[in-house]
Structure 1
């Protein structure tokens, strides 16, 4: 029986090639979209799960209360790791490390600047990266040693064996290669190209040795002995700040590392989501695209009901049961699903390079993974059965006497169900249009919102080698301005859009001892406000005219507000035990998240702390390319041993919006696919309605109706369906976008524009889709439909 059904199915598909191609195309696009989205979701879900004991790995978070809010950071004091290992029960390993930063490694004539981390031996116990060469038990113990990743070792040494060879760090420290490990997987939160000992970091930065519990400057990782130890360890670590510094009210917590990437957004000291919210959206999108592809198949299949009715009647008359007919139609839909899956594979493989380039990741189809094939087989069978279910039940229900006597099917119920399916498709399409429009509105609002300084034509150059000395930086500043390439030059202790470097070790007259306020702290150079294009609200900025400015401080507006200082100028505050006098108040400007309010910040002179970046305001009257060439030449002249590391601040600022841009782009693309498939479903309903009404249309034409009248008649019903879809979709879309926007302190108010765009696009798409078939029917010769009446 199966063999006979297979033959009939193949003959039917071959006989109706156009119908088969449309159905295969619709299902293939749905399946390909679903496959790509599921690959992306799987990739994101696998973050930080590559390690042997990933379920026991934790990141120490620091909760700090300020201005009535609790801020949560994965920045902790350098003393945290030792204290946790010695005092907290159930701990197997702890590690402190810097966050990844670029350093120069030199071997012979080769100079490479890539990301490095200073850490201790326990780092590679917790994150057990695979060793290719070297002894895992001996690495990172010697001060002048280094561990390389495989690709970095190949770039540096080629085919040579790197073990025991020496390299230079920043042209100063000579380091011996102890080991080579596998490259860090792309879906790992901590990316690096090589590791260096924490003791070397202490040697280079002596202040690191101070056990200052108010200075949150590193990442602390913890591995527990078993998962059962979590509750007790997390309870004990909570008060670790207060136990070591009586007036420090910060609270620590252990956060699972394998959830760090997906659940990294905190509110009032608790994780409230993060990228997981995007993944839920993409999972829903994948499911809905596949579902509307199935609905599209149903609509197109039942649109051919008249052509299949006599076949059903004859087969029933010669003894076929309804069950065998259902099996026949389901077999046809599964066959189509198999063919669509083959096409979907091709579409996915073609589109993956584009998406990898777009998302800057490396999605691949894991052909050797049985889980992939299981999921794919399940998707294929699910698609075939769901898509074929309604056509099978509907077509197999025809009564042989009626269909053989003359095709006169009662269409009311089938049309109602088909209309419901089309409405469902357009509800989803309209929701996507509204959501995508709101995402782009929010992104443009934040990108165009005043950030407190002028990021255009502002360049930041990393401080390296000779530039670490104040005299060389000042020389560079003089030469840049003298060359005409720059109008102003200043210094900053971090990249201007980077986070980090915060402290609670600040006190002032009238401070409530119970208040633990978290301040961002940065070192700045002379002419800072002029260089970045911000302004002073009161007082002055640092200047060479005032040698005593090493004991001065500038506050931002948020700091003055949180300190409740009515007359801040001249106020003496205590910062890390040193008295500093407030000489100026600077306008708030965005350093960290552009979506959140600006945090309290204090600025001290870069001569007091050093600088990591040089900020250069390009001369607006000079050619940008020639100005950049001059800058490179001058920097190279002062420090020839390092490649020039410069970036436009606008480019680094743009990186803050990657998640939202990703959400918008993917919603746009896959929303477009969903709308296209919905149009095929609408076309199916148009085919069905036109077939049912062809005699009515022919009579109307005989009685004098013009083509325009027929088009209005046919389109009117579909416009009603689209209107109903919009009516249902608008409240749903409003709830979705309102919930999404609520995560941002700075957000747009939901206007009528997205809904106007949605209803306009949906109506235009519906009219164009239906008119493709309607014009064909309206121009048909009425004789063909009425000659046998």
Structure 2
């Protein structure tokens, strides 16, 4: 019986190969898009899952009155381990804050991310050097490892895992360091590095004021995490209060707390960070599901539309004794065959599209990798789409009554008609949402690219270096040598560049009011190099000797946060120094458009700040190439500590990376809008063909009675026009809510425009009218005699 059903199914599919091709093709394209989305979703949600203690690892963070951060101090981990038996292990790590060079002969490595970790953190994070994780012999000893990839850069012919000596810095520095071996760098993890230094302890001698470490704890299974979180908060406050007598400080400490963030959260939605990547991933996954649903709707619609052609077949089979269950099985077999072929085609399309997808999202996904779970997900998806797309058509086809269909009195029910129309409206509603979303994303990106940032990144070159310029007099010789090169307009050095990265934060007091604000330690010409505008007062100048001791510039947001009136000349206290405010800088979007400008203080002297290492040079546009060539040639003399290792990045390119996620979203929505429109139009085309074929005789009679071609076109298009119009009306409120929510993720955004809603209606109505008219043209131009001659 199965063999017979299979033969009938293949015959029917071949006889209706046009519609079969549309069904299979549309489903294959949608399924290919869904496969790519599932691959990416699986990849993004499985970071660090190879860690055997994945579910029991937490980051300990701090909650201050003004901010939340993952950075804590070194003594906290040891205190947690000693006081709470439910904590199996606790350790700390610290990231390097600048890039340095490592050399082996002519082989050079630029280590951008060299991490420190204590032995306990290495165990918690499951770090695995080749040969196994070893505990350093002494308290102060360190074992240094390079990632396997970087070890090959320095030692391309190395076949053993013996320790090696490498040069640090320029060739003439004479500084060497021991590399104990290589270590696997799991790129599918939140803890990645170029190299790592592991010690028994790190951060010795640093107290609770040094909050630049990350604390990891591993708890016992079944631990009450909320209760532990509160206990750690109590412990942390207790430690901070030791020896403290100032009542105001005591009250401030009582407002400080801690939190525990699961390792599972760190990649997509950290508590002390931005959860935009998580929202984008969920949106992408929903988008993939909707595209697949639209394709399934097409399948259902076309299958129901073909019902009349299969009615007599069903009638004959029922007269011959076939049961409804057997007929349902037969039709589901046909549908399964189509879905199976669509799945094979989808894998082919996905494989062809994968390089472009990988390039867009900067990942390295592969369909033929058992770790991506497609081996069990695809069969499940195949069965699911067969059930979703095929169940109702199979029940409709198997439910025909023989007495009616064999007399020729069969017509599809109103229920089927309502379902077809409803599904078509749903399809176009989704397409409209994607079109509106695409227009609004484009508008926001255009706004971001054209809006005044408050500073000028063009023609500014960020030069990386390893020298620490704490004082202006140390940087002055470097500045003077750089300025002698033709084409260079200004030079400065600071603790950070405006590329979206976070600045440090400290507590500062104005008029008895203490607030935590960002700090950036700078040198002369910082504001001039970046073309930052002055609101009032002045910027730093060599003409004022106090500028290198106790003068600061604050931005507009800091003035607003403290509520200062006439800020120039007033005192702001921080790091045990009474600073004089000499100027107010206009706000500029250093962190991009998603975050509001942070209240910030700029100082040349800041004992509590970070090292000034980031050199910025403003160069004339028409002399850029010559100036960079001269800088490279003269760098060993300009900055001997860096020697021949001159390297740079353009600041506008660094800042442009802040738009990457939104550009990805734009590309995805563009592809989704095209796909949904294509699939919807594909289904509409085939659907219109069946509707038109069913009205051939009606059209012939109308033409004989004098109806014009325009009137007939209008008649055929009217129902589709209404359905597309209804789809727009339904989708507008949904699109409005979704796009408004998305725009709210930006601190600086456009007002929600009306044009995308009008444009989506125009586009979908025009496409529907053109599609239906093309299909109706054959029926309109046909000779009425051909349709009526057999009557």
Give how far 1:606 is off: 6.6
> Structure 1 residues 655 and 311 mapped into 2: Cα distance closer, same or farther (>3 Å)?
same
> Structure 1 residues 784 and 473 mapped into 2: Cα distance closer, same or farther (>3 Å)?
farther
Residues 1:520 and 2:518 are matched in the alignment: yes
CA distance in 2, matches of 1:623, 1:767: 57
Q: Quote the residue 2:629 is aligned against.
A: 629
Q: Quote the residue 2:569 is aligned against.
A: 570
CA contact (8 A) 2:261 2:271 kept: no
Give how far 1:101 is off: 4.8
Residues 1:74 and 2:70 are matched in the alignment: yes
Alignment of 1:636-715 (within 5 A): 637-639=637-639, 641-715=643-717
Please, what is the CA RMSD of the aligned residues? Answer: 2.8
Secondary structure in structure 2 of the residue aligned to 1:216: coil
Give how far 1:220 is off: 2.5
Give how far 1:367 is off: 4.4
Give how far 1:658 is off: 2.6
Q: Quote the residue 2:245 is aligned against.
A: none
Give how far 1:719 is off: 0.8
Give how far 1:592 is off: 2.6
> Structure 1 residues 606 and 554 mapped into 2: Cα distance closer, same or farther (>3 Å)?
same
CA contact (8 A) 1:486 1:616 kept: yes
CA distance in 2, matches of 1:73, 1:694: 71
Q: Quote the residue 1:205 is aligned against.
A: none
CA distance in 1, matches of 2:125, 2:61: 18
Secondary structure in structure 2 of the residue aligned to 1:319: coil
Give how far 1:41 is off: 0.8
Q: Quote the residue 1:132 is aligned against.
A: 130
Q: Quote the residue 2:262 is aligned against.
A: 256
CA contact (8 A) 2:135 2:200 kept: no
Residues 1:163 and 2:158 are matched in the alignment: no
Q: Quote the residue 2:10 is aligned against.
A: 10
Residues 1:297 and 2:299 are matched in the alignment: yes
Give how far 1:479 is off: 3.9
Residues 1:60 and 2:55 are matched in the alignment: no
376-385 or 597-606, larger mean C-alpha shift: 597-606
Give how far 1:477 is off: 2.9
CA distance in 2, matches of 1:259, 1:507: 35
Q: Quote the residue 2:192 is aligned against.
A: 191
> Structure 1 residues 493 and 100 mapped into 2: Cα distance closer, same or farther (>3 Å)?
closer
Q: Structure 1, unaligned stretches of length 5 or more?
A: 203-207
CA contact (8 A) 1:459 1:615 kept: yes
CA distance in 2, matches of 1:306, 1:500: 66
CA contact (8 A) 1:430 1:762 kept: yes
* Cα deviation digits, residues 374-420 of structure 1 (max 9, x gap): 21111101111221222212222333333333364245332221111
Give how far 1:726 is off: 0.8
Secondary structure in structure 1 of the residue aligned to 2:43: helix
Q: Quote the residue 1:554 is aligned against.
A: 553
Give how far 1:690 is off: 0.5
645-654 or 472-481, larger mean C-alpha shift: 472-481
Q: Quote the residue 2:24 is aligned against.
A: 24
> Structure 1 residues 255 and 593 mapped into 2: Cα distance closer, same or farther (>3 Å)?
farther
Give how far 1:365 is off: 1.8
- 2:362 paired residue among 342, 360, 364: 360
Q: Structure 2, unaligned stretches of length 5 or more?
A: 242-248
> Structure 1 residues 200 and 94 mapped into 2: Cα distance closer, same or farther (>3 Å)?
closer
Give how far 1:430 is off: 1.0
Q: Quote the residue 1:603 is aligned against.
A: 602
CA contact (8 A) 2:55 2:264 kept: yes
- 1:234 paired residue among 212, 229, 233: 229
Give how far 1:507 is off: 2.6
Give how far 1:227 is off: 4.5
Secondary structure in structure 2 of the residue aligned to 1:504: strand
- 1:418 paired residue among 411, 417, 420: 420
> Structure 1 residues 227 and 632 mapped into 2: Cα distance closer, same or farther (>3 Å)?
farther
Give how far 1:336 is off: 0.5
> Structure 1 residues 698 and 632 mapped into 2: Cα distance closer, same or farther (>3 Å)?
farther
CA distance in 1, matches of 2:396, 2:378: 28
> Structure 1 residues 132 and 198 mapped into 2: Cα distance closer, same or farther (>3 Å)?
closer
CA distance in 1, matches of 2:460, 2:177: 36
Q: Quote the residue 1:398 is aligned against.
A: 400
* Cα deviation digits, residues 55-92 of structure 1 (max 9, x gap): 121122222223xxxx2222333444344444455331
CA contact (8 A) 1:460 1:616 kept: yes
TM-score by length of 1: 0.91
Alignment of 1:104-123 (within 5 A): 104-114=101-111, 115-123=113-121
CA distance in 2, matches of 1:7, 1:338: 16
CA contact (8 A) 2:455 2:530 kept: yes
* Cα deviation digits, residues 239-260 of structure 1 (max 9, x gap): 5554344524432211112112
CA contact (8 A) 1:489 1:616 kept: yes
> Structure 1 residues 199 and 566 mapped into 2: Cα distance closer, same or farther (>3 Å)?
farther
CA contact (8 A) 2:635 2:644 kept: no
Residues 1:217 and 2:182 are matched in the alignment: no
CA distance in 2, matches of 1:237, 1:766: 62
> Structure 1 residues 519 and 231 mapped into 2: Cα distance closer, same or farther (>3 Å)?
same
Residues 1:102 and 2:99 are matched in the alignment: yes
CA contact (8 A) 1:333 1:385 kept: no
* Cα deviation digits, residues 443-474 of structure 1 (max 9, x gap): 33334333321122222111235989966743
TM-score by length of 2: 0.91
Secondary structure in structure 2 of the residue aligned to 1:584: strand
Secondary structure in structure 2 of the residue aligned to 1:483: coil
> Structure 1 residues 139 and 571 mapped into 2: Cα distance closer, same or farther (>3 Å)?
farther
> Structure 1 residues 693 and 437 mapped into 2: Cα distance closer, same or farther (>3 Å)?
same
> Structure 1 residues 28 and 530 mapped into 2: Cα distance closer, same or farther (>3 Å)?
same
Secondary structure in structure 1 of the residue aligned to 2:223: helix
CA contact (8 A) 1:76 1:219 kept: yes
> Structure 1 residues 123 and 641 mapped into 2: Cα distance closer, same or farther (>3 Å)?
farther
CA distance in 2, matches of 1:563, 1:140: 49
Alignment of 1:86-485 (within 5 A): 86-87=82-83, 90-91=86-87, 92-98=89-95, 101-114=98-111, 115-138=113-136, 143=141, 145-160=143-158, 161-171=160-170, 173-185=175-187, 187-197=188-198, 209-211=205-207, 213=209, 216-239=211-234, 242-246=237-241, 247=249, 248=253, 249-264=255-270, 273-369=275-371, 371-406=373-408, 408-410=410-412, 412-465=414-467, 473-485=475-487
Q: How many residues align?
A: 769
Q: Quote the residue 1:716 is aligned against.
A: 718
CA contact (8 A) 1:459 1:616 kept: yes
> Structure 1 residues 448 and 73 mapped into 2: Cα distance closer, same or farther (>3 Å)?
farther
* Cα deviation digits, residues 260-283 of structure 1 (max 9, x gap): 2222266xxxx8954332232222
500-509 or 315-324, larger mean C-alpha shift: 500-509
Residues 1:733 and 2:735 are matched in the alignment: yes
CA contact (8 A) 1:292 1:677 kept: yes
Q: Quote the residue 1:35 is aligned against.
A: 35
Give how far 1:687 is off: 1.7
CA distance in 2, matches of 1:244, 1:323: 74
